[in-house]
Amino acid sequence: QKEVEQDPGPLSVPEGAIVSLNCTYSNSAFQYFMWYRQYSRKGPELLMYTYSSGNKEDGRFTAQVDKSSKYISLFIRDSQPSDSATYLCAMSGQGAQKLVFGQGTRLTINP
C-alpha cells in the first residue's frame, strides 16, 4: 500500500464547475500538507500549504485537511481553462526524511 493515494484521473469538467481533488494517506504523523500544480512538461509549483487540520482559502482555491480520516482535499471554484494541469498532493511530518507525493490528478477544464 502506498503511503499517499491519489486518483490519477483524468478528470474533465466544464468551465465554471467546482472541482474536488482528493488524497488519502496512511501515516498519522503527517502534519504538513501541500498541493502543487504542474502544467504539461513544466516543473510543479506550490499552490496551497496547510499545517495540521482545518481549511485554508486563497482566491478560488480551498484546501481542507481531515486528519481523523487521513484525507485531504483541494477545491477549485469557478474553474477556468487555465486551471487545466496535473495537481499533486504532497505531505510530510516529524520524523519523516522527505516529502511524499501522490501520483497526481490530471485535470482538464473545457471551455
Partner 1 sequence: DGGITQSPKYLFRKEGQNVTLSCEQNLNHDAMYWYRQDPGQGLRLIYYSQIVNDFQKGDIAEGYSVSREKKESFPLTVTSAQKNPTAFYLCASSIGGAINEKLFFGSGTQLSVL
Q: Residues interacting with partner 1, by CB under 8 A?
A: 4, 6, 8, 32, 34, 36, 41-46, 49, 51, 88, 90, 92-93, 96-104
CB of 73 or CB of 92, closer to partner 1: 92
What cell numbers appear for 1 in the block? 500500500
Nearest distance from residue 8's CB to partner 1, in Å?
Answer: 5
To the nearest whole angstrom, how small is the minimum distance from the Cβ of residue 42 to partner 1? 6
Residue 71 or 77 having the CB closest to partner 1: 71
Residue 17 or 31: the one with the smaller Cβ distance to partner 1 is 31
Beta strands in 7-98 (DSSP E): 11-14, 19-25, 30-38, 45-51, 54-58, 61-66, 71-76, 85-93
- The backbone torsions φ and ψ at residue 62, rounded to the nearest 5 degrees and listed phi first, read -130, 130
d(CA 38, CA 100): 16
